[in-house]
Amino acid sequence: MCFQLFIVFFAMVLNPAEMMSLANAEDVILQKAASAIEQNYGDEDMRVTLSTRWMPGSLRELSSDNITSVQLVGALKKYTRFQVSYLDAGWPEKAEVQLQVEMEVNIPTLTQRKQRGEKLQESDLTKSWVAIDLNQDQPIKNKEELIGKTLRNSLNAGEFIQPGQIGNSFMVNAGEVVQMIFQQDALQIVLSCESRQDGAEGEKIQVYCKETRKKYLTKIINTGEVQWLRTD
């Protein structure tokens, strides 16, 4: 018990610089790398956890006092490179390390399961801390960008939303009859077809025409109207 109390007391009287000198070189590199991320991406709605993926053994053997700076190299990814500046026998040197970055962000997530084609309301969204994959996830961070948008995919409660998963309200719904317009010079033909997909203005969907017994790729130009692009 006396030993534990001594350790606590000793830590309390040390200043931050003295505490840093007690850490090993790898710990100091991780701390300075975290500071570099904060300087470049500082955001109260973001927190990161770093671990070593690759580091030269010579760096680990250094005194922590010899680590002078750590800088981010390139964009922040799941596996990110950092440049470490240090002193070796008094001479300035540099080396690269690769660290694994695990990130959590405080972003809008769904309060309940929502089906494809449903329009998002403010009550459908709440901010939550979630882990993201820096190599592939691009969550929408602003709730105002989501309200009123239509889901392109069904999503479960607690999931975040990415740009490709939302769009404007559908002008055409799967299964409904649409007017397909074929235009070539002065010739215009209009056929009644069945939509095989939901879609918003400007999106491409497939339709089927019973009259011709063919499928067509079309572009939505208005509510219930599509323009012929090609015959499938």
Buried b (16+ CB within 10 A) or exposed e, 191-218: bebebebbbebebebbbeeeeeeebbeb
Q: What does the DSSP 8-state code read for residue 155? A: B
- Detail the DSSP E strand segments found in the chain: 46-54, 67-73, 79-88, 91-110, 125-132, 150-151, 166-167, 177-184, 187-195, 204-209, 214-222, 225-231
Alpha-carbon distances of 64 from 18, 20, 152, rounded to whole Å? 11, 7, 51
Position 229 pLDDT exceeds 70: yes
What's the pLDDT at 43? Answer: 81
Instruction: Please give the residue that has the higher pLDDT: either 169 or 18.
Output: 169
For 116-128, write each residue's pLDDT tens digit: 889 999 999 999 9
105-149: pLDDT as tens digits: 999 999 999 998 899 999 999 999 999 999 999 999 999 999 999
State how far the Cα of 42 lies from the Cα of 193, in Å rounded to an integer.
53
Read off the pLDDT of residues 27-59 as tens digits, 9 standing for 90 and up.
999 999 999 999 998 788 999 999 999 999 999
